[in-house]
Amino acid sequence: MKIVSGNRQLGILLSGRGSNFAAIADRIAAGALDAEIALVISDQESAPGLAEARRRGLETAFVPSAGRSRESFDRAAVERLQEHGVSLVCLAGFMRILGPFFVRAFPMAILNIHPSLLPAFPGLDAQKQALEHGVRFSGCTVHLVDESLDGGPIVSQAVVPVLDGDSVDDLSARILDAEHQIYSDAIGRILDGRCALDGRRVRVGDSHE
């Protein structure tokens, strides 16, 4: 099954500072990633990432999540994304779990980046989990989003060493540097039509365009 985006319009979902969003936007501005950010959505009105998107002159939307069901939020967000012609959704520090309605609206067209080498340490506090387990290597994973928690097919991974004396902040910073590189690379491969899904394995080859 080919994973091919219909266009190069990205939708970014974030809840906080949006450092991965900024890294993606920087790569686009530098000509290193052939894409356009059509819309940035946050479920938090005061999210620094939303303010940064506005500063960059991008289209933004605040879609509140407090006091509403998951499906209600998903329907509102999907409507905004579809209005802006988004074909690939990128989660960048988005702290809300997407429900079946959202996932089915963008089948195999939602990417997330997680700060561990999945399937190890899914969910919250992945860096803390890695340190507590005493692993010598951790890293980050770009994966397609399905209806499981951090369980979709893996597109790309980067290995990051865990050093003696690392704090959660130390390890998190090292992983974040790797995230900023591999996320944009994975987006580029998807948009170029270079990825195909074979069972659970994402295979990368020449462009299908």
Annotated catalytic residues are: 114
CB 45 within 8 A of CB 65: no
Query: How distant, in Å, are the alpha carbons of 118, 135, 191 from that of 132?
Result: 16, 8, 37
Angle at the Cα of 30 from the Cα atoms of 192 and 169, rounded to 5 degrees: 95
Q: How far apart are CA 90 and CA 118, in angstroms?
A: 18
The rounded distance, in Å, linking the Cα atoms of 179 and 156 is 10
